[in-house]
Structure 1
Amino acid sequence: MKKIVTLRPEWHSDDLDKGKIKVVMTGSAADPANFQPHIHSKDERRDLKLRAKNPDDELEIVIVRDMWLTGFDAPSLHTMYVDKPMQGAGLMQAIARVNRRFKDKPGGLIVDYIGLFQSLQTALAVYSPWPKPMHLWHPDQKQKRSVMTSDCSPTCGQPC
């Protein structure tokens, strides 16, 4: 988060009700000091979830740790950056978070940082009734950096 805020300071606000970017996680006082600013109460996490679901809110990027992958419905979400191994039903539920139609949005974009293609193929074979065309982008290090330094908005609908 610090690197993103350094590149895009205008996206950040310490106020939970403001800012284009937030981190959502549970934790405790035993977690590392750099986690502490992002550990919120249940009510604060609920408020952030409501912000994320509101397409009119300025919140555009939410970094989550083991949260909102199941039971979270926000059809306006467009892009998910995955850097955690997943498989099976959990993987299908995770990608379903962004692969929803909403207004002019035809679907979602999954940016795979760790190589989930085989796990996704396996999950689709088990959980999908028909084969679907799929496009996965495996960014190299330079492309990963360019996503955060480009002038592209996180919600522009195009790979940056």
Structure 2
Amino acid sequence: MIVCMSRRICVEMYNALIHLHPEWDSDDDTTGAIKVVMSGTKSEKLEWQKHIRTKQQIKVLRKRFKDPEDPFKVVIVRDMWNTGFNAPCLTTMYVDKPMQSHGLMQAIARVDRVFKDKPGGLVVDYIGIAPRMKKALAEFTSKDHKGLDVHQLEEAVAMMMEKYQVCCDLMHGFDWSGWKSATRWADSL
């Protein structure tokens, strides 16, 4: 996983890597070794269009990336998949984006998952997040959080985010904007 500062940098990183390894490229989300996962609309720059996907297309990529046998091995992100995404087979994260506190802990937790004989994850820091990571670790292990197992907390948050995503996927396309004014729950359906 490569974490970049902006969507523009994500696309530029993708283009640079494809230039070096054209065999990794594929416009088909069911094939290819590298993808950019980022938010956007169809009115974005033409060069960005192939990287803007529907929720269903992102779901396909999530499933592929979690499969250690799949050739999809490199994902480039800005914010998506930094939190609430659990791929235990992920071993390395390349960070070129300032992060801090909870967001940093969440991102680092992407590679810190138990998986088969994986001894741990590797974070390659290109921007100097080490001081922020020390501060974030101090926050999460302070006396106020005595006895708190950060890994259990991260697992719980990741699981909750996964369930939240399932709910969002189930509600996709459903107009639930009037549910608060409904007198009975059935009226909102």
Per the normalisation by structure 2, the TM-score is 0.65
Q: Which residue of 2 aligns with 1:31?
A: 44
1-structure distance, mates of 2:124, 2:46: 29
Give SS of 2:46's match: coil
2:107 corresponds, among 94, 97, 106, to 94
Give 1:31 shift.
2.5
Give SS of 1:118's match: helix
Q: 1:106-149 deviations in whole A, cap 9, x for unaligned?
A: 1111111111011001001111369xxxxxxxxxxxxxxxxxxx
Q: Is contact 1:73-1:97 (8 Å) kept?
A: yes
**Amino acid paired to 1:71:** G
**Runs of 4+ off more than 3 Å:** none
Identity rate of aligned residues, in percent? 55
Alignment of 1:68-83 (within 5 A): 68-83=81-96
1-structure distance, mates of 2:78, 2:40: 10
Q: Which residue of 1 aligns with 2:137?
A: 124
The higher relative CO (CA closer than 8 Å, separation ≥ 6) is in 2
Give SS of 1:56's match: coil
2-structure distance, mates of 1:115, 1:30: 34
**Amino acid paired to 1:107:** G
Give 1:99 shift.
1.2
Q: Is contact 2:42-2:52 (8 Å) kept?
A: no
Q: Is contact 2:96-2:125 (8 Å) kept?
A: yes
Q: Which residue of 2 aligns with 1:62?
A: 75
Farther off after superposition, 49-58 or 87-96: 49-58
Give the number of aligned pairs: 130
Q: Which residue of 2 aligns with 1:142?
A: none
Higher fraction of helix: 2
Q: Which residue of 1 aligns with 2:60?
A: 47
Give SS of 2:75's match: strand
2-structure distance, mates of 1:111, 1:26: 24
Give 1:71 shift.
1.1
